């Protein structure tokens, strides 16, 4: 009998994970809760409808369908203790416990962790409510970044474009993201300038191994303008990683491994490290902007087509504490992913019919996010709809493939950035 796997989540990240897991000869069936229409079109895969936070119904499903292990996608499930829940019920699960996931769900905790362990990060202050935050912002000209402490669906960061907009950005954070909770603690940060890099580590509770790197595009519109989003595109792997591999290992990965080796950081799952590569006296220093306790979205969509090994085996070895670098293999190709979203994203929008979807080929793949079937028709729920991923021997080939195909998708009132990986 092969493996039965339950994936928790409903977006493009979960679609790409299901798609890759289904390629394993070890796997019989993959279920996704709640899943989406794209997942239902994949071999061995089926959406099962349970909400990502409905732990009890998930558990009943696991026991009645002989689930061998569970893979957690979204941040809110991790912050709610889903891994602890499955562990307490003797079901294998890939992801960090609620305590370990605090590296993501508390920005203040993560900053203090970085400072304590001498891992490079931007200087910061903690604002204890709106009045205190305003006072500290006025007294420190270097404060230009404002971050909510908890989970905000990728939208809890406000960056002041200049000194005149610092107070506006700060007030917007409290008014919009924090829903006028003027007593909430926030991070007040220095704005770093440089190239961004997403570093992904896979961890088995005892060690962290580098998986790959990507570049993500958070801003809604071209030239990194507009509001922050969950991500409008990405490419893999980052063009600067090979030159900085030793520096990143010394300054970031080794300190994390030191903590894991002495059981101070018993972390299992994916640890995303958001980096800013800052030029300093002719060299480049990687500063940590943030942690995520999970696979990224849309980074996972550009990672999975390049992964040249058995994902199911890799995740199971991590759960069992037996990771080895020999397990991790990658294609020599490049990938570029472009997100097709409703015009109103990151705000809400109405459902629309998906009129046409091009056929996937060996070098192009569509990963669904907000899609569903109704009366034999495919609909979008709005928000981020698809991640359209092209692969090729060069970034340009991969980029051209992604954009040529995304142009053939016809859904009303949708748009996408036209500059993903445009500098490569």
Beta strands in 57-151 (DSSP E): 69-72, 92-94, 124-128, 143-148
Residue 354: pLDDT band (50, 70, 90) is: confident
Residue 102 resides in a domain: no
99-121 pLDDT tens trace? 999 999 999 999 999 999 999 99
- Interatomic CA distance for residues 41 and 346, integer angstroms: 27
Measure CA 335 to chain center: 16
Residue 357: pLDDT band (50, 70, 90) is: low
pLDDT of residue 353: 85
Tell me the torsion sign for CA atoms 316, 321, 327, 331: positive
Residue 356: pLDDT band (50, 70, 90) is: low
Mean pLDDT, all residues of the chain: 94
Is residue 392 domain-shared with residue 306, that is, in the same domain? no
Average pLDDT of span 326-348:
94
Cα pseudo-dihedral 99, 105, 109, 111, rounded to 10: 130
Name the residue range of residue 159's domain.
123-190
pLDDT of residue 154: 65
Among 30-34, 306-310, 369-373, 393-397, which is the least confidently predicted range? 369-373
Domain boundary residue, one of 132, 157, 190: 190
Domain boundary residue, one of 175, 190, 205: 190
CATH number at residue 319: 3.30.470.20
230-241 pLDDT tens trace? 899 999 999 999
76-106 pLDDT tens trace? 999 999 999 999 999 999 999 999 999 999 9
Residue 57 resides in a domain: yes
Residue 357 resides in a domain: yes
3-state secondary structure of 229: coil
Is residue 259 domain-shared with residue 218, that is, in the same domain? yes
Contact 166, 144 (CB under 8 A): yes
Average pLDDT of span 370-381:
87
Residue 105 resides in a domain: no
Is residue 310 domain-shared with residue 232, that is, in the same domain? yes
């Amino acid at each position: 009998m092969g493996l039965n796997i339950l994936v928790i989540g409903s977006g493009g990240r979960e679609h790409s994970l299901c798609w890759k897991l289904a390629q394993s000869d070890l796997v019989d069936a993959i279920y996704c809760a709640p899943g989406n229409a794209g997942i239902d079109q994949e071999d061995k895969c089926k959406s099962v409808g349970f909400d990502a936070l409905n732990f009890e119904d998930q558990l009943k499903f696991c026991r009645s369908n002989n689930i061998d292990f569970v893979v957690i996608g979204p941040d809110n499930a991790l912050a709610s203790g889903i891994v602890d829940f499955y562990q307490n019920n003797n079901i294998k699960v890939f992801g960090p416990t609620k305590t370990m996931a605090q590296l993501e769900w508390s920005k203040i905790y993560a900053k203090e962790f970085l400072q304590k362990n001498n891992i490079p990060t931007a200087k910061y202050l903690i604002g204890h409510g709106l009045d205190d935050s305003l006072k500290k912002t006025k007294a420190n000209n270097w404060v230009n970044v404002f971050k909510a402490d908890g989970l905000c669906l990728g939208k809890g960061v406000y960056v002041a474009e200049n000194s005149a907009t610092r107070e506006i950005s700060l007030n917007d954070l409290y008014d919009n993201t924090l829903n006028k909770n003027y007593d909430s603690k926030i991070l007040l940060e220095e704005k770093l300038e440089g190239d961004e890099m997403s570093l992904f580590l896979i961890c088995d509770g005892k060690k962290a191994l580098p998986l790959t790197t990507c570049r993500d595009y958070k801003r809604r519109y071209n030239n990194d303008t507009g509001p922050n989003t969950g991500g409008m595109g990405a490419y893999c792997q980052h063009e600067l990683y090979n030159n900085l591999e030793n520096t990143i290992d010394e300054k970031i990965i080794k300190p994390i491994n030191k903590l894991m080796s002495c059981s101070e950081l018993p972390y299992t799952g994916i640890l995303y490290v958001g980096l800013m590569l800052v030029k300093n006296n002719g060299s480049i220093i990687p500063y940590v902007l943030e942690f995520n306790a999970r696979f990224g979205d849309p980074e996972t969509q550009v990672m999975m087509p390049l992964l040249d090994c058995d994902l199911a085996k890799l995740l199971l070895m991590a759960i069992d504490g037996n990771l080895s670098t020999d397990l991790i293999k990658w294609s020599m190709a490049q990938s570029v992913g472009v997100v097709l979203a409703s015009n109103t994203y990151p705000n809400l929008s109405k459902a629309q019919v998906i009129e046409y979807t091009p056929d996937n080929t060996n070098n192009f793949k569509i990963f669904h996010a907000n899609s569903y079937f109704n009366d034999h028709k495919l609909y979008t729920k709005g928000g981020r709809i698809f991640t359209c991923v092209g692969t090729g021997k060069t970034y340009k080939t991969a980029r051209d493939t992604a954009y040529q195909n995304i142009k053939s998708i016809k859904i009303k009132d949708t748009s996408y950035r036209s500059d993903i990986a445009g500098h490569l």
